[in-house]
Amino acid sequence: MTLVRFGLRLSLRSGREALVRLLLTTVAVAAGVAVLLSVFASYHAFATSNKRPAWEQTQGAVVGTAGDKSAASTAMAELWYFSNDSYQGQTIERLDVAALGPHAPVPPGVSRLPGPGQYYVSPALAVLIRTVPADELGERFPGTEAGTIGDSALTGPTELVIYAGYPPARLSPLENTIVVTRIANGPQTSVWTNYFRYAYGVGALAFMFPILILIGTATRLSAARREQRFAAMRLVGATNRQIGVVAAVDSFVGAVLGSLIGIGGFLLLRPALSDYAIIGAKYFPYTVTPTAWGYIGVLICVPLLSALAAVLALRRVRISPLGVSRRVTPPPPSTWRIAPLVLGIALFAVGLALTTKQSIGTPAYPGLLVVMVGLVTAGPWLTARAAGLFSRLRGTAASLLAARRLTDSPQAAFRSVTGLVLAVFLGTLLAGMMPAINATAATPNATALQNVLLDSFSQDSLGGGAASPAADNGHLDLAQQLQQLEQTRGMSAQAAATLLSELTSRYPDAPVLPIYNAPLKVTGATATGLGRTIVPCAAMTQFPSLGSCPAGASAINTDTSNLMIANPYFSSRPIVTDTTTRSSGDVSGLSLNAILIRPSSPVQLEQVRTFLATHTTASASAAAPETFGEEVQARLNVSNVIQRLFSIAVVLTILIAGCSLAVAVGGGLAERKRPFALLRVSGTGAGTLYRVVLLESVLPLITATIVAAATAYGLAYLAVMKIAPAGTPVPRPSVSYYATVGGGLAASVLVILTVLPILGRITGPENARFE
Amino acid sequence: MSAVVATPGGSAPTRILEARDVHRSFGSTPALRGANLGLAAGETLAVMGPSGSGKSTLLHCLAGIYSPDQGEVRFNGRRLDTLSDAARSKLRRTEFGFVFQFGQLVPELTAADNIALPLLLGRTGRRAAYQQADVWLGRLGLEGLGGRRTGELSGGQAQRVAIARALVARPRVLFADEPTGSLDSLTGEQVMEILVGLVREEGTSVILVTHDARIAAYADRAVMVRDGKVSADLDAGVTHR
């Protein structure tokens, strides 16, 4: 107990230097704890939103089947028609529901089902409906608002959801209506769940690594002075255990203070965290918490681990009554240190060589991992080489002094920037590959059709090309089947004419391209015309990216099934192909398959979408009309989230690395106070010393960044050239990448520069000691 | 005061500390090559020699700080060089005291803290330890300076704090390595007067390493170390007194 008190006294009341060390350790731990809690809290919010009942994934029997009959016979059933709508790029989850009996199940977030003509909406959608003109949104949801949907059905406060009540007769004719007797209440099973879970794990580790280095650097501050203290204690009979207790208490105090301040910092950050849609959706603020266990764990584990680390650190040195000696003097890094890096690059290259259109060669994955390990192991060697090279290129006193220190202990110099190397590596790899991946969605054609709205009214259940009898319609001959199909596919010619006429009169400045179903023909046992459509050439001229009609043709007969594929890479391809033929311009009597319309403004876009939602039966895919740009954006969102996560990681890591360097520079200055002061006294200018210190810290920072970025870019280039479709542009990181890395580096250098004024003060001639 | 004349191995029957054929090298450089030395209870022995002769190494071996490569060191007839690190730490805490040229005080602690430190490490209660520290501050003429950190003390004051700390646990042997090396001659002599006076009062044996004949003159006996061996007894003390 006495020793603990003694340790506390040493930590808290041992003068300015000890206080500065305590302050820096505290700040480093606080930063680490705040970041750690933020990651925990974000993960908790993510996990909580994933645990919400996934009512959207409710299954049921299709109306008109045997399953439907048995389900509908109970009083505990309802009709569901679930679809996704859109408003200004935001998805609206829309459930049209009709109770079939008094005990129909109630979806989460409401106490009862909406009756016909009623709807429940999420708070965010309620606000939108109230504030946006009705012809842009509100008219899509006829009826009156019966209440708001509670949090249990939502993943976040900004989610747009509506439960709209209808009479059964209104929903039963719709193709995708199902009969539901039990609402799914299991957790979300998004394909991205596991990826994000791993990403959070890796993110937590990636953040912790530089933070631990920062804490370690801070605790090593004034190590020489502290070790002098320990040696003096050993001289008067302190055992190694007693020294361990004092060191552990010293570290424990800083960690406890840091943990408390870190929790405070996290609580300040928390509103911003819940407000910032890191993975594309905002969370409910109350879910953004590391939970009580997280707080308790941090308060217990961080100080204990810190104390343990201090004791373990003592094992690396031999503290004798006469002073401290290192157990192991690190030898200069050998060339072998770059072997893992070379091996990793080779493995990655082999993996790419084995890559096919179907899969990436297995060795590429371990190759990437080995490259990352290789960058860390090669770092000190590269630092030493860079220092030597720099010294040869610039023969100034400052470069000589800085290079000598870097060459003597490149491990120590590189330690502070290890996390940075990994962050820049991953960030650059991603920045190199993402544009190529995005380019496969945002093709030039998709960009040309960006504001074009596609609404489809038909889906050929028999597929394209020649038809054969369907299994469940086996009792009908082909002609009868086709006749049946003709009656159900698409919008009737009469309705189509009305729709097109109204669209033209309401939105005269919005070009429309109608796509009609080609008439079906039966020749013997084969049907032709399925999957073929008739497109008027006059309207085609307004959509040049879809191709041009043959000269003189008034309409074309072509396959437009690509348009319906939910991937802009395919859906935006020209519809004029080798199989396109001329057709007569007569479309009378043809059902309407789909329309393309290019609204002139975002407001008009929503007006058209609302008009289509209220003047047509729901589209066959149960999806509201969307623009090609919205399709592209949906695909880019995932990569944007990943890029955003890595950008945050890179910026934070660079900043933390800068702080580590600043702390290390400050500590180094304090320990070299005497020789620097003597250099000043003997005529060395303060400017030279400034340059020495700046070079010592900036050289490893720049070297690490360049090597990591160059390696990652090289790998990204190889991967894109091998994997991406022909014609994909050479990977070129975006401006935001250069801004992120450049800004981070500049911030780091600024942080380092803040330490330099100490140099002038502590090396003044009045501080020189000659004994 | 009378000098005790002895052979290099020492001949006093009440030897408290003894080195027998001690060898010690640092890498390939030998520092001690068969050193023999005996210290009688209550005796003050000066170890002299030129720089690099091995006198400090001999002191460190005698104090159990270094283990000899060969030979043995006995304290009270018990092998010291084979004791565990913890046992030697305890010995330094309870039986030995140290005064070096500089650097032996804990810089972050006050004078009183430094003096109380050996007692605190030996689990003496805090109040008792600081009471003892106050007593020793008074005995060394440091009244009112107990609250100062070592950096706020003069060289002579710091050495007096070191002497107080070395003697507070009432050790049986005091090891002093150039205790006045960083002081001017006048202050050095004042420090030595205090040191010798106190060890006489306490009955403490002293090994005093110095290259300064005037400091050696405070000893009862002096030996010369050359090339890692204790080569001769010198008649010290008499000349000074």
- Identify residue B103 by its one-letter amino acid code: G
CB A77 within 8 A of CB A180: yes
pLDDT score, position A35: 81
Residues A237, B86: C-beta atoms closer than 8 Å: no
Phi and psi dihedrals of A148, rounded to 5?
A: -105, 155
pLDDT score, position A327: 46
Location of structure tokens 């090891």: B175
Q: Which of 1-40 (A) contact B at CB < 8 A?
A: 2-3, 5-6, 9-10, 14-15, 17-18
Encoded tokens for A154: 């939502």
A531 Ramachandran zone, left/alpha/beta (phi>0; psi -120 to 50):
left
Location of structure tokens 């104390």: A307
> Per-residue b/e over A73-94, b at no fewer than 16 CB within 10 Å?
eeeebbbbbbbebbbeeebbbb
Location of structure tokens 């002093």: B176
Residue A257 CA to residue A234 CA, distance in Å, equals 28
Prediction ipTM score:
0.71
Residue A201 CA to residue A91 CA, distance in Å, equals 29
Task: Tell me what the mean pLDDT of segment B55-68 comes to.
Answer: 88
Residues A321, B94: C-beta atoms closer than 8 Å: no
CB contact B122 to A (< 8 Å): yes
For helices A418-439 and A735-755, angle between their N-to-C axes, nearest 10 degrees: 160
How far is A229 from chain B, CA to nearest CA, in Å? 5
> If we measure between CA atoms, which residue out of A676, A546, A572, A576 comes closest to residue A628?
A572
Q: How many residues are given for chain A?
A: 771
CB-side neighbour CA atoms (13 Å) of A242: 27
Long-range contacts of A385-393 (CB under 8 A, 24+ apart): A386/A699, A386/A700, A386/A703, A387/A699, A390/A695, A390/A699
Residues A771, B120: C-beta atoms closer than 8 Å: no
CB contact B182 to A (< 8 Å): yes
A252 Ramachandran zone, left/alpha/beta (phi>0; psi -120 to 50):
alpha
Contacts of A240 in chain B (CB under 8 A): 85-86, 89
* Number of neighbours of residue A194 by Cβ within 10 angstroms: 10
Residue A155 CA to residue A188 CA, distance in Å, equals 10
Residue B26 CA to residue A125 CA, distance in Å, equals 81
A238 Ramachandran zone, left/alpha/beta (phi>0; psi -120 to 50):
beta
- Identify residue A121 by its one-letter amino acid code: V
Per DSSP bridges, beta strands B15-26 and B29-40 are antiparallel
> If we measure between CA atoms, which residue out of B98, B197, B189, B83 comes closest to residue B140?
B197
Contacts of A15 in chain B (CB under 8 A): 108, 149
Contacts of A234 in chain B (CB under 8 A): 89, 92
Q: State chain A's mean pLDDT as an integer.
A: 79
Q: How confident is the model at residue B125 (pLDDT cuts 50, 70, 90)?
A: confident
Residue A412 CA to residue A216 CA, distance in Å, equals 11
Encoded tokens for A354: 């084995």
DSSP per position, A644-679: HHHHHHHHHHHHHHHHHHHHHHHHHHHHTHHHHHHH
Which of A228, A236, A239 to probe by mutation at the B interface, max B CB count within 10 Å? A236
CB contact A769 to B (< 8 Å): no
Residues A232, B106: C-beta atoms closer than 8 Å: yes
pLDDT score, position B239: 41
DSSP-assigned letter for residue A50? H
**pLDDT, greater one: A684 or B105:** B105
CB contact B41 to A (< 8 Å): no
Cβ contacts below 8 Å, chain A against chain B, sum to 74
CB A365 within 8 A of CB A355: no
Query: Nearest residue of A to residue B67 by CA position?
Result: A320
How far is B22 from chain A, CA to nearest CA, in Å? 19
Residue B224 pairs with which residues in a beta bridge?
B48, B232
Encoded tokens for A614: 């209220």
- Identify residue A658 by its one-letter amino acid code: G
Contacts of A2 in chain B (CB under 8 A): 120, 123, 125-126
Which of A16, A19, A235 to probe by mutation at the B interface, max B CB count within 10 Å? A235
> Per-residue b/e over A526-537, b at no fewer than 16 CB within 10 Å?
ebebbbbbbbbb
Residue A298 CA to residue A292 CA, distance in Å, equals 10
Q: Is residue B205 predicted with pLDDT exceeding 90? A: yes
Residues B86, A233: C-beta atoms closer than 8 Å: no
Phi and psi dihedrals of A594, rounded to 5?
A: -165, 165
Model confidence pLDDT, tens digit, residues A263-300: 999 999 888 887 766 666 678 888 888 889 989 998 99
Query: Nearest residue of A to residue B64 by CA position?
Result: A321
Phi and psi dihedrals of B35, rounded to 5?
A: -80, 135
Rg of chain B (C-alpha set): 17
pLDDT score, position A462: 32
Residue of B103, B108, B125 with shortest CB distance to A15:
B108
Which of B84, B106, B115, B184 to probe by mutation at the A interface, max A CB count within 10 Å? B106
Task: Tell me what the mean pLDDT of segment B81-101 comes to.
Answer: 85
Model confidence pLDDT, tens digit, residues A368-423: 889 988 998 998 999 888 888 887 777 667 777 788 778 877 887 887 778 778 87
Phi and psi dihedrals of A104, rounded to 5?
A: -60, 140
Residue B178 CA to residue B155 CA, distance in Å, equals 13
Residue B39 pairs with which residues in a beta bridge?
B17
Residues A235, B104: C-beta atoms closer than 8 Å: yes
Residues A235, B98: C-beta atoms closer than 8 Å: yes
Encoded tokens for A144: 């009156």
Per DSSP bridges, beta strands A532-536 and A512-517 are antiparallel
How far is B89 from chain A, CA to nearest CA, in Å? 4
How far is A770 from chain B, CA to nearest CA, in Å? 12
Residues B107, A321: C-beta atoms closer than 8 Å: no
Residues A238, B93: C-beta atoms closer than 8 Å: yes
Task: Tell me what the mean pLDDT of segment B211-228 comes to.
Answer: 89
pTM: 0.67
Residue A180 CA to residue A199 CA, distance in Å, equals 36
DSSP per position, A327-375: S-PPPPPPGGGGHHHHHHHHHHHHHHHT--SS---TTHHHHHHHHHHHH
CB A332 within 8 A of CB A384: yes
CB-side neighbour CA atoms (13 Å) of A615: 18
Residue A284 CA to residue A263 CA, distance in Å, equals 20
CB contact A51 to B (< 8 Å): no
Measured CA to CA in angstroms, residue A712 lies from A168, A432, A718 at distances of 58, 8, 10
CB contact A767 to B (< 8 Å): no
Residue of A232, A239, A771 with shortest CB distance to B89:
A239
Residues B107, A236: C-beta atoms closer than 8 Å: no
Give A339's contacts (C-beta < 8 A, 6+ positions apart): A374
Query: How many Å from the N-terminal Cα to the C-terminal Cα in chain B?
Result: 8
Task: Tell me what the mean pLDDT of segment B17-36 comes to.
Answer: 90
How far is A18 from chain B, CA to nearest CA, in Å? 8
CB contact B12 to A (< 8 Å): no
Residue of B60, B106, B169 with shortest CB distance to A322:
B60
> If we measure between CA atoms, which residue out of B160, B165, B176 comes closest to residue B211?
B176
Residues B182, A771: C-beta atoms closer than 8 Å: yes
Model confidence pLDDT, tens digit, residues A196-245: 666 666 666 666 666 666 766 666 665 666 777 788 888 888 888 888 88
Contacts of A322 in chain B (CB under 8 A): 60, 65
pLDDT score, position A142: 82
Q: Which residues of chain A have pLDDT under 50?
A: 191, 326-329, 459-472, 619-622, 769-771
Residue B161 CA to residue B114 CA, distance in Å, equals 8
pLDDT score, position A317: 62
Encoded tokens for B151: 């950096």
DSSP-assigned letter for residue A474? T
* Number of neighbours of residue A205 by Cβ within 10 angstroms: 12
Per DSSP bridges, beta strands A144-148 and A118-121 are parallel
- Identify residue B15 by its one-letter amino acid code: R
A23 Ramachandran zone, left/alpha/beta (phi>0; psi -120 to 50):
alpha
Query: Nearest residue of B to residue A6 by CA position?
Result: B120
Residue of B92, B100, B104 with shortest CB distance to A237:
B92
Residue A133 CA to residue A135 CA, distance in Å, equals 6
Contacts of B149 in chain A (CB under 8 A): 15
